[in-house]
Structure 1
Amino acid sequence: MSEAFRDLTERVGFLHKVESANRIGAGQLKISPRAITFEMPVDDTVASELGMPSFPSGDQEVEIPAKLIFRDRYGFIGLGRCRYRSSTSSTFGDRPGSLKLEAEYAVEIGSMEQDYWSVNGLRSEIGGLAAWAGLSSVVTPPPETDSRGLIIEVSQTAKARDPISIGTDFGLKLYPHFSTQHSSTNGVYTIIEKTFVQTQTPQTIPWEKHVRVHQMVQDLVVIARWTQCGLRVHSANNIDHPIVKISTGEPLGEKWRDAIATWGGRGDWSTPMTIESNRPALFRLADVGAPGLRRWIEEYDSWTRIVGPLVTSRFQKHLPVEALLMQIAVSIEGLGHRIGLMTGRISNPTSSLSFPQYLDLIYQSLNCQITPVIYGSPDNGISSFPDFATWADAFNTAYKEAKHADHPLPDHVRAWVLAESGALLLRLWLAQEFGVAPARLDQNARYSA
């Protein structure tokens, strides 16, 4: 595996077609989680190889091959989900213009013949997953000191636990490991706990099917930690094209191909990959267990109406409080309708109840304490509500004020507090549904809003 893949973010080389291996042209490849782009001069020959009838201009829609290969002196890179981004025409006679292409992912490959556009396995890292999963531990024995009390010897042992097999049709595993950093200038040594999300299937499948499962795990971590957390694709595997020893052709164990993608699940390249260490979680992996996480993956599609708006609210920047309130209300309505169908209150999927009735259905089926939901925010001048009915009435009023133009706008602080407490109500119900004990929720809820 070439270290240059991650170290060299800007490379100059040739672009090739996948099917024929024909060379398209030469240019510069830039790779980062923010953007993967290839820019090159374009003449009639290059345009023809890309399947362009003419040089593109302006906002013209242009179709190019979705799969391309980049080659330079360091090796080969497969580029996936490629598309035309922009072009610049020349104003100096016969000098060619330039063309910029972008790709959604890049993966190091061993030769032009290797197919990594469908893969057996994919690994990613999710911010905060290692701590949430609790699969790693660092042990620091008491340091040895001299007669003056100065530390003269210190040792740390970082021990990753065995991977947890979750199962599902995607062979989901949580795979703990460590990375280290050393600053020779400042003499600082850092051990970083990490946990891969790993999917592996018997047959190769498109990247999109793998990454969707990784996002499902990301969503559950967000519901537990209630903060945005980044997702970064790390490596990919195709069992038909393993990494091998150059001298013998023997596969090098379980080593996978390095990969970088601009896809970050709910977030993007700027979403943080770390979570504040003092930010408590509503629940952890041990509270739902492997069965709960497996059920989360297997049933995910049926929960998207509830989970989608709820989790997305953590990633949207500069979201007006009215939009936040409505987004949480959409999730509440989705959950209330689902409970209505489960309990028989709604006999037909096309039937509905009123929004206050949905709130009451959620409350009546919740087994943990409601106090954290109705606590208000005394520090922000919002007093605790005396009971759930009063809180529900306040939420419904604020929701109607945000939704209907013939109503006055809700007070921003009050609306924000109600939206956050409505989100907590949803998180408590989902956590309970997927196996978290009510006592655990009672213990953690007041600190994890």
Structure 2
Amino acid sequence: MATLTHDKERGVRLEVPYIHHSDVEQFKNAERWFETATPPKNLTFTTKDGIASLFGCRYSGHTMNFGYGYAAGYITPEEVVLTPREGDTAAALAVSELQSELDGLSEWTRFHAIKHDRETNSEGRIKKVTVTAESLESLTWQQGEAEMNLTTSWTTKPEPSGFHVSEWIALKSSFATHRPTLEHFKEQRKVAALLKLNFGRPLYFRRHQIRDGLFPDRAMNGDHKGTSFHEYVGRRTFRNFSQPVPTEKDLGEPIFYLAQVGGEGLTHWNDNYETWKRFIDPVVSVLSRHGVALEDVVVSASMSIEAAGNLIGHVTGEQATYGRGRPTTATYAFRVIAKLGLDFTGIAESSTGMARSMANNYNTIKHYNRGEFPDPLETYIVGHVAMLAVRLLASTLVDPSGQLAQEYVSAGKFDSFKNDLKQTELYVKDSGSFEKI
């Protein structure tokens, strides 16, 4: 007998009771696992309700009651699939398809699987509602060796008061051969990074399923019935499941929607990803956490801007930001601002001044010998400007023409952004200093 549990802090854990120094073979095996801290790498957990396949198992401690000989050992699997696997039981987990549910996908894709049709009587009262659930909308693109897909998916669940139908958008990665789930997550996290930058907030994976020929569906007599998706839980993402779910308001203003870029834009994002990784990673890291300090936002966004400034290269007018004839931190900020064509009229005397203020604030936070941290209101302004600049610049990796960033500005969203910053009653001078207005 054993118990398989899952909680938001430890993930999946297997508890195995056994008798210490017993002559029973099953207890001898368990005792050997825990006394030597070497349980089998893979295990199969069987219950009356089904079978779970455990992969990458590692020893997580054991306890003993010496008076009675009772003991319990603990095993933590790296990955769990809620169905049996066929083939080599000792082989590491590798699958051909992994699909995930990710915050923001429904709002970003605007795909829908559920449609409602209503019929009314002569008095205008609803007399009939027809609900159709069907997976029709889909988009496929290539990311290296992986074929990526976004598609509508839906589930049904009977309830005491009726019948519940829910829809979700599945992000799927497929390879021609079995691959470790780490390779699937590597490709899916590229999409997750893009969404975090696009919405400017933390977003989390909520569910994973795998599909592979080694996990077939079989009838009671053993006949093959096909291959469907099966639930997967892994240590890389299980903590995501308990994170706060973003509200409709949280997801109300992305830089762009999927329909504006299509599969071609997602291919551009992938093609640019490795070159621009030092730009992408710092800000995505800070966007993956709730309750981040203003100073952390400035440091992470500024690291991204430094990387971007080096990749962008020389732009007209940057010499004003040089120090001793060489580019400075302000130069890299200026390059990003210039590439995006942002006009800070109303909150700053010039783009040069804004770039200098960003550099001054970042360097004062970063270097211990700069004295006290900057005024929080100044850090608030710099953090918001730097973060928006990074998010807009990320859109140019999806659409190299820069049209997405231009549309954001022309739609009045940048003016609204500046109006919000005006509430601080601070103005950035050409020198990079702030003055009260």
Q: Give your verdict on TM over 0.5.
A: yes
Does 2:115 correspond to 1:119? no
1:410–1:51: structure 2 CA closer, same or farther, 3 Å change rule? farther
- Partner secondary structure for residue 287 of structure 2: coil
Give the whole-Å Cα distance in 1 for the aligned partners of 2:28 and 2:315. Answer: 58
Which letter does structure 2 place at the counterpart of 1:319? V
- In the aligned structure 1, how far is the partner of 2:359 from the partner of 2:298? 10
SS in 2 for 1:171: strand
Matched, 1:397 2:360: yes
TM-score, with length taken from structure 1: 0.77
Where do 1:21-32 residues align within 5 Å?
Answer: 26-31=1-6
Query: Which residue of structure 2 aligns with residue 440 of structure 1?
Result: 407
Q: 1:276 aligned to 2:213?
A: no
Q: How far, CA to CA, are the matches of 1:73 and 1:342 in structure 2?
A: 68
Aligned partner of 1:358 in structure 2 is 332
Residue 332 (structure 1) aligns with: 305
Counterpart pick for 1:75 among 50, 65, 85: 50
SS across alignment from 1:313: helix
The 1-side partners of 2:177 and 2:368 are apart by 53
Does structure 1 retain, via aligned residues, the 8 Å contact 2:118–2:128? no
**One-letter amino acid of the counterpart of residue 360, structure 2:** T
- Which residue among 13, 16, 30 is the counterpart of 1:40? 16
Alignment partner of 1:173 is 2:153:
no
- Counterpart of 2:377 in 1: which secondary structure? helix
What is the CA deviation profile of residues 293-329 of structure 1, one whole-angstrom value per residue up to 9, with x for unaligned ones? 1232344233221111111112224433222211111
* Rounded Cα–Cα distance in structure 1 between residues aligned with 2:38 and 2:234: 21
Report the CA distance shift for 1:247/1:284 in structure 2 as closer, same or farther (over 3 A).
same
**Deviation of 1:408 (Å):** 1.8
CA distance in 2: counterparts of 1:80 and 1:416, whole angstroms? 46
Note the 1:208-219 alignment, pairs <5 A: 208-219=182-193
Q: Which amino acid aligns with 1:295?
A: H
| Equivalent residue number for residue 429 of structure 2 | none
Supply the AA of the counterpart residue of 2:229: W
3-state SS, counterpart of residue 154 of structure 1? strand
**DSSP 3-state at the match of 1:166:** strand
Superposed CA deviations along residues 126-145 of structure 1, whole A, max 9, x for unmatched, are 11102211222654456514
Looking at structure 2, the residues matched to 51 and 313 of structure 1 have their Cα atoms a distance apart, in angstroms, of 44
CA–CA separation in structure 1 for the residues paired with 2:270 and 2:313: 23
Q: Aligned-pair distance for 1:331?
A: 0.9
Residue 132 of structure 1 is matched in structure 2 by 108
1:106 to 68, 80, 88: 80
Specify whether residues 444 and 434 from structure 1 end up closer, same or farther in structure 2 by C-alpha distance, changes over 3 A only. Answer: farther
User: In the superposition, relative to structure 1, how do residues 259 and 401 fare at CA in structure 2: closer, same or farther (>3 Å)?
Assistant: same
Shift, 1:409, TM fit = 0.9
My pick for the range that moved more, 278-287 or 164-173, is: 278-287
Q: For structure 1, which runs of at least 5 residues remain unmatched after alignment? A: 1-25, 57-61, 346-351, 376-382
How has the CA–CA distance of structure 1 residues 232 and 47 changed in structure 2, closer, same or farther, with 3 Å as cutoff?
A: farther
Pick closer, same or farther for the CA change 1:359–1:243 going to 2, 3 Å.
Answer: same
* Closer/same/farther in 2, CA of residues 194 and 53 from structure 1, 3 Å limit: closer
Native 8 Å contact 1:139 1:157 kept in 2? yes
Letter in 1 for 2:35: F
Instruction: Give me the whole-angstrom Cα distance separating, in 1, the residues matched to 2:212 and 2:115.
Output: 36
Deviates further, 134-143 or 310-319: 134-143
Give the aligned partner of residue 243 of structure 1: 217
- Amino acid aligned to 1:394: S
Give 3-state SS (helix, strand or coil) of 2:241's partner. coil
Cα distance in 2, alignment partners of residues 202 and 160 from structure 1: 23
Match of 1:8 in 2: none
User: What per-residue deviation string (whole Å, max 9, x for no partner) do you get for residues 32-77 of structure 1?
Assistant: 6651111122546779747968737xxxxx5544432212233321
**Percentage of pairs with the same residue:** 19
- Is the CA contact (8 Å cut-off) linking 1:32 and 1:262 kept in structure 2? no
| 2:331–2:355 contact (8 Å) kept in structure 1 | no
Match of 1:429 in 2: 393
Q: Distance in 2 between matches of 1:204 and 1:119?
A: 4
Of Structure 1 and Structure 2, the greater helix share is in 2
The CA distance in 2 between the partners of 1:404 and 1:334, in whole Å, is 19
Counterpart for residue 375 of structure 2? 411
* Superposition deviation, residue 273 in structure 1: 4.6
Corresponding pairs, count: 395
Check 1:307–1:141 CA distance in 2 against 1; reply closer, same or farther (3 A cut). Answer: same
Q: How far does the alpha carbon of each residue in 1:184-203 deviate from its partner, in whole angstroms, 9 at most, with x for none?
A: 44x6x765431111111111
Q: Encode CA deviations 1:136-162: one digit per residue, 9 max, x unaligned.
A: 265445651453x54333344455434
Q: 2:284 aligns with which of 277, 296, 311?
A: 311
Structure 2 Cα separation of the partners of residues 444 and 255 of structure 1: 47
Question: What is the CA-CA distance between 1:95 and the residue it aligns to?
Answer: 1.7
Distance 1:419 1:28, change over 3 A: same
Q: Return the offset for 1:291.
A: 1.6
Give 3-state SS (helix, strand or coil) of 2:374's partner.
coil
Question: Alpha carbons of 1:300 and 1:258: their partners in 2 closer, same or farther (altered >3 Å)?
Answer: same
The yes-or-no answer on 1:164 pairing with 2:139 is yes
CA gap of 1:199–1:54, structure 2 versus 1, over 3 A, is closer
Offset at 1:428? 0.7
Conserved 8 A contact 1:122-1:200: yes
Deviation at residue 82 of structure 1 after TM alignment: 2.4
Unaligned runs of 5+ in 2: 319-325, 421-437
Which residue number corresponds to residue 88 of structure 1? 63
